[in-house]
Structure 1
Amino acid sequence: MTSQTAVVCAGAGQYRVDHAVPVPSPAPGMILCAVRAVALNPADWKMIDFSATASNNLVVGGHEFAGEVAQVGDGVTSVKVGDRVLAPVPGLNECSLSAGAFCQYTTVAADMVCRIPEGVSYEDAAGLSVVTCTAGLALYQSLGLPLPGQQAQSDATKPTYVLVSGGASATGTIAIQLLKASGLAPIATCSPQNRDMLLALGAVETFDYHSPACGMEIRNYTDNALAHVLDCVTQAESMTMAYEALGSGSGPKKYIALDPFPTRIQYTRRDVQADWVMGLSLFGEAVKLAGVYGRPARPQDRVFTAQLFALMERMLAAGTLKPHPVELRTGGLAKVTEGIEDLRMGRVRARKLVYSV
């Protein structure tokens, strides 16, 4: 096969389906994968709306997939043809037109894939890579928390609480499981109907974000000692709540978001270090997006991501990392744009949209 079907950039705010996109060949250290399922992310609409260019109409969209290794490049020994894998890819990348996930065949670096264990479907695996990388970068690079296996001897009488605001989000459910594996005590905000799910994943307690006293309830629960927050919602209300929940002691306190946040709230507490994660830095290359979304190259994130994928593979095999609940939709690549529109309009909650290819 020399050409394939793919969802490509058609200008600002628009995608289109193209049936004549070249099938790439894997360079040394790379692998070619037959895509079996793709998952959607907020970046799929944010990038096309705010940062996409139309200088080349063969720029493939999509940021994560699950599939089968179809060909390996020179020097690749870690995986073989026929292996089932999941991986993130830099979609809408002008520097590598075929790097997206919304296609039948895509290439990815061999050390950036995670083998899928038996019993986990392509559809469940498709949405794991981006959220795991994002959660990992936030928890372990930005917040400086210990990776599983690196934690110091814990004091059972003084658990280290970490608040995951938006615990029922895709990033939130993965963050809770990583925190549990690290020997920490994740607490989360969520709607009451998602409480049981988060407790089953490892949260030690949940709080209803609808409550006007949510922040103070968390501060009381943590005995005024909360020092770490991951905000997966990143709205003015969630940031205000997080700042109310953080303890008032003299030690360092950190707040990490997944999007830019209001500085008017940030500076209400000068004792809190606030930052946000740009998930696309996981590839180690410069993020060439407009405004605050641009990032210089961070090779250290590339190194960390490879380590994180090895951890994810072990946790998946052991059954200690569960995929976020999936909403599987029909229609394949031809219907992906409908799902992107639903994400854009905020019509998807507590589910990961996935399409079989």
Structure 2
Amino acid sequence: MKALVGDKDGGYRLAEDVAIPEPKPGMMLCRVHAVSLSPYDAKIVEYSVTPDAVGGCDFAGTIVKVGQGVTRFKEGERILAVTFGLNPLDKTAGAFAEYALAIEDLSCHIPDGMSFDVASSMGVGIATAGLALFEASGLHLPLSRPDATDADSSEVVLVSGGATSTGTMATQLLRIAGYTPIVTCSPANNAFCESYGAAACFDYHSPTCGADIRDYTSNNLSSVLDCVTDAPTMKMCYDAIGSSGGRYIAIESITPVVKYTRRDVSADWLIASDMVGDAVLLPGAYGRPSTPEHRQFAATFFHLVDELLHQGRIRSHALDVRGGGLAKVPAYLDDLRGGNVRAKRLVVPVASG
């Protein structure tokens, strides 16, 4: 099969002779119909390339073979799945290929009427938001069942970067779980974020953004998810948290310079690949020990998300669908890395039908 694999000199190369992998226990082999490009994909290929390992995280496709022990899925079904490519532990993991392995615990059935393009864009955002809000040590908010009402609760949660793909997923999940999400974004994206359920939007460009949020929340904000995670946004989030302190979780490594400015704020960060449960073999701060409890959460969470998708209670981020297949993915990742893609998920169709 064709696949984008790590090149020994860095970056990706399009290989045309990659063996189609066999599904391991708890996994399914899928024909890939579409892939989506995430900031994780753009960063990992620069940070740590595993030669000859398949890259990519988000895909949607059709199951062609089921591994031992799989109970939720069968051959012929359409699914969306999350995997984590350029993996030194398993070079066959990865989405940027004509055939990819899906993990049962990190997959959902695609609802009737949803295209492969749309479905491919959802997995990583859902996984990251779910792990950050409901499992990771920073927030660990209680997660309701899908029959809970979407009514506002008294607890407000701030999502910094509400117009990102993780931000829109987090906003929807918070609404479903009974919280009141507020977001930071550019004023041009206010209506966009409100369409996903944001109760209020704050301009992150404003020097008073943190103070404005603290005033809006009557000095009671205690939970923050930062989907941007740089020093200015972290400081803004710290300024927004009420005087009684709170919890801050980010999706990128955080700066100690800001972290220790408030001892009443518990700060942590995560990497989405923690959800697989295996150790993350990356250099520096990104290396992580195995987290089997995150894998247990994933099995429950993705089953719940499957229900929510079929109820129409989670919808995709805005899309930017581009042609050219796998060969064009490296160029599109350059666009993503260069900041030329805003408030949209890049999607690349791989196979028709």
TM-score by length of 2: 0.95
1:92 aligns with 2:86: yes
Q: Which residue of 2 aligns with 1:240?
A: 235
Q: Aligned partners of 2:336 and 2:274: how far apart in 1?
A: 22
| 1:48 alignment counterpart | 45
Query: Match of 1:39, as an amino acid?
Result: S
Residue of structure 1 equivalent to 2:217: 222
- Which residue does the alignment assign to 2:119? 125
**Structure 2 gaps, min length 5:** none
Contact 1:12 1:53 in 2 (8 A): no
Q: 1:64 aligns with which of 54, 58, 64?
A: 58
CA distance in 2, matches of 1:159, 1:86: 34
Of 110, 127, 145 in structure 1, the residue corresponding to residue 141 of structure 2 is: 145
CA contact (8 A) 1:151 1:183 kept: no
Q: d(CA) in 1 for partners of 2:50 and 2:20? A: 22
Which ranges in structure 1 are unaligned for 5 or more consecutive residues? none
**What is the aligned counterpart of 1:18 among 15, 19, 24?**
15
Equivalent in the alignment of 2:99: 105
RMSD (Å), alpha carbons: 1.9
Q: Which amino acid aligns with 2:72?
A: S
- Structure 1 residue 303 corresponds to structure 2 residue 296: yes
- Give the 3 Å change call, closer, same or farther, for CA 47–12 of structure 1 in structure 2: farther
Who is 2:183 aligned against?
A: 188
Distance 2:104 2:291 in 1: 19
Counterpart among 239, 246, 255 of residue 253 in structure 1:
246
1:100-157 Cα shifts (integer Å, max 9, x gaps)? 100001112323210000111111110211111110111011301110239999997x
Q: Tell me if 1:179 matches 2:178.
A: no
- What residue identity is the alignment partner of 2:21? P
Identity %: 47
CA contact (8 A) 1:39 1:126 kept: yes
**Quick one: distance in 2 between partners of 1:106 and 1:328?**
20
Aligned partner of 2:26 in structure 1 is 29
Of 7, 14, 18, which aligns to 2:4? 7
Residue 150 to residue 109, structure 1, CA distance change in 2 (3 Å): closer
Provide the C-alpha distance between the structure 2 equivalents of 1:151 and 1:291, rounded to a whole number of angstroms.
42
How far is the alpha carbon of 1:77 from its aligned partner? 3.1
Deviation at 1:222, TM superposition (A): 0.3
Q: CA deviation at 1:33?
A: 0.3
Question: Is the Cα–Cα contact under 8 Å of residues 12 and 48 in structure 1 kept in the other structure?
Answer: no
Structure 2 SS opposite 1:21? coil
How far residue 76 of structure 1 moved from its aligned partner, in angstroms, is 2.6
Give the Cα separation in 1 of the matches to 2:169 and 2:340. Answer: 21
**CA distance 1:153–1:130, shift in 2 (3 Å):** closer
Distance change >3 Å, CA 74–CA 191, structure 1 → 2? same
Q: Which residue of 2 aligns with 1:334?
A: 327
Residue identity in the other structure for 2:142 = P
Distance in 2, Cα, partners of 1:238 & 1:75: 44
Give deviations 1:305-349, integer Å, cap 9, x for gaps: 111111111111111101111100010101000111112212111
Alpha-carbon distance between aligned partners in 2 of 1:321 and 1:51, rounded to the nearest angstrom: 33
- For residues 163 and 347 of structure 1, what CA distance do their matches in structure 2 show? 26
After TM superposition, list the pairs within 5 Å mapping 1:204-219 onto structure 2.
204-219=199-214
Counterpart-to-counterpart distance in 2, 1:169 and 1:31: 29
Once the two structures are superposed, residues 218-270 of structure 1 have per-residue CA deviations (whole angstroms, 9 ceiling, x without a partner) of 00000000000000011111111111100002xx5001111112211111111
Distance 1:131 1:154, change over 3 A: closer
Normalised by the length of structure 1, the TM-score is 0.94
Match of 1:342, SS state, is helix
1:115 aligns with 2:117: no
Q: CA deviation at 1:203?
A: 1.0
Displacement of 1:279 in angstroms is 0.8
Q: What is the aligned residue count?
A: 348
State how far apart, in whole Å, the 2-side matches of 1:150 and 1:107 are. 28
Structure 1 position 200 matched with structure 2 position 177: no
**Tell me, what secondary structure is at the counterpart of 1:36?**
strand
Q: Which amino acid aligns with 1:187?
A: I
CA distance in 2, matches of 1:312, 1:232: 20
Partners of 2:146 and 2:176 within 8 A in 1: no
Q: Comparing 26-35 with 330-339, which one deviates more in the overlay?
A: 26-35
| C-alpha distance in structure 1 between counterparts of 2:301 and 2:112, whole Å | 20
Distance in 1 of aligned mates of 2:11 and 2:146:
45
Partner in structure 1 of residue 316 of structure 2: 323
From 262, 277, 282, the equivalent of 1:269 is: 262
